[in-house]
Structure 1
Amino acid sequence: MRVADLAQAELPGGAGELLRRAAAVLSNKLAGRYFGITSDEFIASREAGAEFFTLDLRSAPDWRAGHLPDAYNIPHTQLRKRLQDEVPRFTPIVLVAATSDAAWSVACMLGGLGATDLYVLDGGMAFWPHALETA
């Protein structure tokens, strides 16, 4: 079975859902729909003048405890209802979560809604080696 087929398969139970989601992430990465970005690439791109909307998907308390500079917080549980009003449509988006797995899942969801120029912070906040801002 191809990865793209597995991503669309009806798989029973929690393990089946987890496998389907992992296949969807891999399928989208292989197709070049979304991209990973390392912390160093992110910083270098911003220093070179690239503009990103950095969307932190963690809970508000986690975001307040420490977040990337200029990150905007919308917890992933609130994203669908806040998306239209708070996320720009024509700016590349860097998705940040505690780990990159959660952000890749959101990238798939946003891509399904028509979003393009989506990046996922590799490793998520668990692997961010630089200074953080606090609220």
Structure 2
Amino acid sequence: MSNEEITPAELADDAVMVDVREQDEWDAGHAPGAIHIPLGELPSRLDDLPDIDPMPIVCRSGNRSARAAAWLEHQGFDAVNVAGGMKDWATASKPLAGTDSDPRVI
């Protein structure tokens, strides 16, 4: 098990990843290929996780996703934290989807 990180620049614009932010953060803008599973729901929604290795996990800045990735690693998943989170995703001019799609509020 690893505590690896990946940067948004290393991910494809349409990369499948798990976004563990809250609903309002998700609505503000998210990666087009992301699957929304808020951190608090993660333990009960393991069946909703994508079948990809490694599985990128993203949040706003990388703190919650680091915890989620570490927890998922303990559950036997090959999870990797997206360093810098959606803030760095937006800074890297990656595409955003969502009702607001405003990088200032991500």
Specify the TM-score bucket, using the shorter chain as the normaliser.
0.7 to 0.9
Determine which of 6, 26, 34 is the counterpart of 1:63: 26
Match of 1:37 in 2: 6
Q: Of the two, which has the highest radius of gyration?
A: 1
Higher relative CO (CA 8 A, sep ≥ 6), structure 1 or 2? 2
The residue type paired with residue 42 of structure 2 is L
The structure in which a higher percent of residues are helix is 1
- Tell whether 2:67 aligns with 1:105: yes
Q: Which runs of 4+ in 1 moved over 2 A?
A: 88-92
- Tell whether 2:96 aligns with 1:132: yes
TM-score, normalising length: structure 2: 0.78
Percent identical across equivalent pairs?
29
The residue type paired with residue 10 of structure 2 is E
**What SS class does the counterpart of residue 34 from structure 1 fall into?**
coil
> What is the aligned length?
96
Provide structure 1 residue ranges, at least 5 long, that are not aligned to the other structure: 1-31, 47-51
Match of 1:114 in 2: 76
Provide structure 2 residue ranges, at least 5 long, that are not aligned to the other structure: 100-106
CA RMSD in angstroms comes to: 2.0
CA shift digits 1:5-62 (9 cap, x unpaired): xxxxxxxxxxxxxxxxxxxxxxxxxxx7132111111138x6xxxxx53000001121
Within 5 Å, which residues of 2 pair with 1:20-35? 33-35=2-4
**What SS class does the counterpart of residue 115 from structure 1 fall into?**
coil
Q: Distance in 1 between matches of 2:42 and 2:56?
A: 14
1:53–1:92: 8 Å Cα contact kept in structure 2? no
Aligned-pair CA distance for 1:89: 4.0
The residue type paired with residue 127 of structure 1 is D
CA shift digits 1:83-123 (9 cap, x unpaired): 1x20134543110001112111111111111112x221111
Q: Distance in 2 between matches of 1:59 and 1:92?
A: 23
